């Protein structure tokens, strides 16, 4: 498995997130990616490279210019408010819901934080932009490798991406790495790209970015949004709109679901990808489906992830893996690399029998 590792990931290190009226320590910590990298190296699962650099213009197929301008300058703006802010994370506290305006761009920093965010659980820190930006480079590098003929590649990065929309951050995500990979595959000439999102949480950002497009099919298996984050998107009746009608498919499962129902659902999601006749696959690879995850509610076990990788390889599609969630730090490396190793093992079997 060719891996592009975000060497700047630990530049983003939030201290606290808002949870039930209190500021609690962040779940989305640098050790997550450190654990995955250590496990990849331990199993010698292919080459690990730093990302190739891309211009900021490579982000514009997915994100708006005004959001990128905000995000690039946000930390400096925060510290300019008060030098003491340099020691504090920036969190939003006010949002332009429904009848409030989102077309105007306020000068006030808190107002701009709210305009460009969806929750108070995603601290913006010194280094958030540099880390997210290098992560986008990892996703783009992996997509180009796969467009160039590699069977698969893995973008090993944090912060994660699938909750980030065209013009907002949230759910620990700032730039939508999976969407960037899918868009890059399209620009490399692949006509139909599928995104399979197997993080515990629905990828509301990814879905929204491609909702009216027929060239990128989005399908996701996740905790029922009626009870699980991101709450306001991810229901089964969301099928796409306009030209994109029929190119979005959600598979919400109740909190507490185990591997048997989850894997049967995966087969259904893959059936949809086959019917779409995808030419390449982007996998939003979150392992917060693990039974021991502190922020999620499925009950997958460590060996199950080997089978997940095998099942994914059976599609025979060129595949870009993008790391998303997974907060059981002690197990996140083994679980993630189990998916990648299961995939590699099955890919060899496929090749021999081809």
CB 247 within 8 A of CB 218: yes
Among 5, 75, 116, 172, binds ligand Q9C (CB under 6 A): 172
Residue 137 engages ligand Q9C in binding (rule: CB under 6 A): no
Nearest distance from C-beta of residue 324 to ligand Q9C, angstroms? 5
Catalytic residue list? 163
Among 200, 217, 247, 262, binds Zn ion (CB under 5 A): 200
Burial of 120-133, coded b for 16+ CB within 10 Å and e otherwise, reads: bbbbbbbebbbbbb
Closer Cβ to Zn ion, 169 or 276, answer by number: 169
Q: How many residues bind ligand Q9C (CB under 6 A)?
A: 16
The entry of ligand Q9C, Zn ion, none that residue 333 binds, CB within 5 to 8 Å by partner kind: none
Residues 96-125 that bind ligand Q9C (CB under 6 A): 121
Residue 70 engages ligand Q9C in binding (rule: CB under 6 A): no
Residue nearest to ligand Q9C (CB): 325
* Alpha helices, DSSP H, located in the chain: 30-42, 65-81, 109-115, 128-147, 177-187, 204-210, 259-276, 304-313, 329-352
Among 39, 238, 288, 331, binds Zn ion (CB under 5 A): 288
The entry of ligand Q9C, Zn ion, none that residue 182 binds, CB within 5 to 8 Å by partner kind: none
Whole-angstrom Cα distance, residue 264 to residue 125? 40
What's the DSSP call for residue 173?
B
Question: How would you classify residue 218: left for phi > 0, otherwise alpha for psi between -120 and 50, otherwise beta?
Answer: beta
CA 149 to each of CA 4, 127, 224, 263: distance values in angstroms, whole numbers, following the listed order: 16, 33, 37, 28
Binding site for ligand Q9C (CB under 6 A): 19, 121, 160, 162-163, 171-173, 199, 201, 229, 286, 288, 295, 324-325
């Amino acid at each position: 498995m060719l891996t592009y590792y975000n060497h700047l990931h630990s530049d983003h290190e939030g201290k606290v997130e808002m949870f039930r009226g209190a500021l609690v320590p962040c779940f989305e910590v640098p050790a997550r990616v450190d654990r995955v990298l250590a496990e990849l190296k331990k199993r010698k699962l292919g080459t690990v490279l730093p990302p190739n650099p891309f211009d900021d213009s490579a982000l514009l197929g997915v994100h708006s210019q005004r959001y990128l301008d905000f995000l690039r300058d946000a930390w400096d703006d925060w510290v300019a408010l008060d030098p003491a802010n340099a020691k504090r994370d920036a969190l939003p506290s006010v949002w332009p819901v429904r009848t409030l305006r989102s077309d105007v761009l306020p000068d006030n920093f808190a107002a701009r934080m709210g305009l460009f965010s969806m929750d108070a659980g995603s601290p913006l820190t010194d280094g958030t932009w540099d880390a997210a930006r290098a992560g986008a480079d990892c996703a783009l590098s992996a997509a180009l490798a796969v467009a160039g003929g590699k069977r698969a590649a893995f973008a090993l990065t944090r912060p994660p991406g699938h909750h980030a929309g065209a013009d907002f951050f949230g759910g620990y995500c700032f730039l939508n790495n999976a969407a960037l990979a899918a868009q890059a595959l399209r620009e490399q000439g692949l006509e139909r790209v599928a995104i399979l999102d197997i993080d515990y949480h629905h990828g509301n950002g990814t879905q929204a970015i491609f909702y009216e497009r027929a060239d990128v099919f989005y399908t996701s298996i996740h905790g029922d949004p009626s009870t699980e984050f991101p709450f306001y998107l991810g229901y089964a009746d969301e099928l796409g709109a306009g030209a994109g009608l029929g190119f979005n498919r959600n598979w919400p499962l109740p909190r507490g679901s185990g591997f048997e129902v989850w894997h049967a659902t995966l087969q259904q999601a893959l059936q949809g990808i086959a019917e779409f006749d995808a030419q390449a696959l982007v996998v939003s690879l979150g392992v917060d489906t693990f039974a021991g995850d502190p922020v999620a509610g499925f009950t997958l076990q460590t060996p199950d992830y080997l089978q997940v990788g095998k099942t994914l390889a059976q599609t025979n599609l060129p595949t870009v893996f993008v790391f998303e969630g997974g907060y059981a730090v002690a197990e996140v490396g083994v679980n993630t690399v189990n998916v990648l190793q299961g995939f590699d093992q099955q890919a060899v079997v496929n090749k021999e029998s081809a």
